[in-house]
Amino acid sequence: MTKQQLFEQIQKKRSFLCVGLDSSLDKIPQHLLKYENPILEFNKQIIDATKDLCVAYKPNTAFYECYGKKGWETLIETWKYIPQNIFSIADAKRGDIGNTSAMYAETFFNEKSSEMSFDSVTVAPYMGSDSITPFLTFKDKWVILLALTSNSGHADFQLQEIDGDKLFEKVLKTSQEWATDEQMMYVVGATRGAAFADVRKLAPDHFLLVPGVGAQGGDLKEVCRYGLNAQCGLLINSSRGIIYAGQEEDFAEKAREEALKLQKEMEQILVEANIV
């Protein structure tokens, strides 16, 4: 999916919502355990209930890898179930030396070898350019680079200064030498608030994947106040707040209700910004 196609989906759905599929056996409704593959059934019902309200789905691969072979099969089948006009994100946070990163890229982008071809993958930048470029060799695929995250330990490294720049600012500056805003996005946590203004100074045109709205306490309006650009430029992720909104047989309806609340709020923001 190109940047323009993603923007068109945002305009069409009046939404920039990303639903995180962080699906775990101990958190999904217990009546689903009767199915041969409970997590896949859960994911399918969540997707069916929210696909008209969101523009992206983001399975966190750790929630699938932990179940071994069956977990990988579930990840593959989940990817296949995501409609092709919805942006798919493999939240894998990979990052290693070049030849290893090349294999990670094959894992998430090459359907012939892995049975998966996500639109994008999250990547850690710590090992530098040669750990990122193998992902960029795939046409029409995206790297979503970790920049300023929402976890409590982010300040241990990301806010440390190097030659007058914070480390996350150095990541933003340097990585733009590797790819344009047509192939690279950044992860910026919703709990960072006003820091989005600093990010936008360095990356005014890039899409930002924003986790942390909802269960983690991020404020949507504050994120948009500082982070919105002319093509929206934001993918706001909500995982637990949507997918675990209900625990009974109507869990998918409850998930839809929560997704709809966010979509309506996003629609108002887009209208006020003259984006739709």
CA distance 61 to 40: 13
How far lies 17's CA from each of 75, 104, 107, 176, in Å? 21, 26, 26, 25
Q: Is 180 exposed, middle or buried (0-12, 13-18, 19+ CB in 10 A)?
A: exposed
Compute φ and ψ for 180, nearest 5 degrees. Answer: -95, 180
Which of helix, strand or coil describes residue 224? helix
Question: Which of 64, 56, 58, 57 has the alpha carbon at shortest distance from 24?
Answer: 64
Active-site residue, 70 included: no
| 27, 44, 93, 261: the active-site residue | 93
Return d(Cα 28, Cα 77) in angstroms, integer: 18
Mapping DSSP to helix (H, G, I), strand (E, B) and coil, where does residue 137 land? Answer: coil
For residue 120, what are the CA distances in angstroms to 44, 91, 116, 140, 178?
Answer: 20, 8, 11, 9, 16
The pair of structure tokens assigned to 257 is 């209700």
Evaluated on CA atoms 218, 223, 195, 235, the torsion sign reads positive
Active site residues per annotation: 93
